Amino acid sequence: MSDDSLRVHFEGSSIETIDRSVYNFVSGLQLQVMTNKGFKPVPVIWGSAERAFQSKNNKEIRDSQGMLVLPIISIRRSSFDKSRASSGVFQGNIPEVADSRGGALNISRVLYQKKTMRFANSDAQRLYGQKNYPSPNPKIVYKTISVPMPVNVEVTYEITLRTEYQQQMNDLVTPFATKPGTVNFVRLKEASHKYEGFIQENYASSDNLSDFSSDERKFETKISLKVIGYIVGEGKNRDRPSYTLRENIVEVKIPRERISLAEIPEHEFGSYYGLEGVPADIKEAFLNDGYHFSNVPAASFFNTSGTGGGSSTSANVVTTDNFSEVLSQNMIVRETLKDSTNTTPSSFTDFATLYSIRANSESVLVNGVLQADGAQKDYTVVDGNTIKFNENVEQTDLIVITYIKG
């Protein structure tokens, strides 16, 4: 199923949902009996409804004097139990996710094609330079629908059959005994929910035949129906959605902590979040090519010898007294290879330095952006003193280089 055509409709199971499933089961039997007006269907009413509502909504069940017209079937809920030892479908407990959306039990999962395609295109563009290049895509995004954990309940209903004649009662009781077959199990349905019903063995019958009063004759049979169902959510009192739609994680990225470590951005004049938290002196030292100091050549040897208390020291030892002089003699800082006003050389890619470059000591900046060394990257060093770019430079580009003399 495409994610664009995904339409989710979920109705939680409530006590009223279970009530409706019982009503639908009894009404679905389509019970009919023979009366003085012919073979007619028997009305089914919900016994706990208000009398005023019944009088207005079902006028045919009462005569002109307000008496019930028999035969009739009524249903009422007699008990409601939440037992931990219930034989319901859902066992154990899965707590809801502790956020504003909730959800505990996954009920459906579909492929999210749009986001899956974006991850695939991004990886193909980065690896192969073509957005739709065919390649395996391990980053599959799914949409998962979850609902609160259903709670098992046991509800008992009392189905009352009332007739004027014994033959009518026989016709009404027979389907309740034969519909489940040799067992007492019936399946109850309402919307997308299904419950298990069990018709109890005892059919309690009563009549007023022994009463020789002026009351009308009637027969009554009470059938008990035990329903094992479940409830999902808190109904109208729920403060979170009745279902939750989530997407899975396909890529984990951990950003580097640059401020605490005082790392320098690759961009010469770049910044990360305004460099908040970095002292001004440290920021200035690090942004002014301070990391190149480690590349200044030190003394190749240090030898002392003495005769009669005298000593001699090699002239190429770097000390605090001659550090600046040695640095200026060996390191070229920000040599301009091309100004933004200079004309571009005929090759558009080759720029010669004033001195030979010691291997891997150069730092090339184009318009303040640090360039990467390599044949498949930005530039290469040719003949020890020529920077060869892999792409043509622009007329307005500013190119500077810092390096150690070779």
Neighbours of 136 (CB within 10 A): 6
Q: What is the pLDDT of residue 271?
A: 52
Q: What is the pLDDT of residue 282?
A: 53
Residue 127 near residue 135 (C-beta atoms within 8 A): yes
Q: What is the pLDDT of residue 239?
A: 86
Q: What is the pLDDT of residue 291?
A: 44
The rounded distance, in Å, linking the Cα atoms of 100 and 10 is 18
CATH number for the domain formed by residue range(s) 1-253: 3.30.2000
Instruction: List the chain domain ranges.
Output: 1-253, 328-405
Q: What is the pLDDT of residue 203?
A: 93
Q: What is the pLDDT of residue 54?
A: 60
Q: Against a cut of 0.85, is the pTM above it?
A: no
Q: What is the pLDDT of residue 175?
A: 93
First-to-last C-alpha distance (Å) of the chain? 65
Give Cα 212 to chain centroid, integer Å: 72
In which residue ranges of the chain is pLDDT below 70? 1-9, 49-66, 212-214, 258-259, 261-316
Picking from 92, 143, 154, the residue whose alpha carbon sits closest to that of residue 116 is 143
The rounded distance, in Å, linking the Cα atoms of 137 and 232 is 37
Q: Which two tokens stand for residue 5?
A: 């055509």
Instruction: Give phi and psi for 31, each to the nearest 5.
Output: -75, 135
Residue pointed to by tokens 């329903």: 227
The rounded distance, in Å, linking the Cα atoms of 357 and 387 is 10
Neighbours of 367 (CB within 10 A): 15
Q: For residue 25, give the DSSP letter.
A: H
Q: Name the residue type at position 315.
A: A
Neighbours of 254 (CB within 10 A): 5
Q: What is the pLDDT of residue 263?
A: 65
Picking from 395, 397, 325, 330, the residue whose alpha carbon sits closest to that of residue 364 is 397
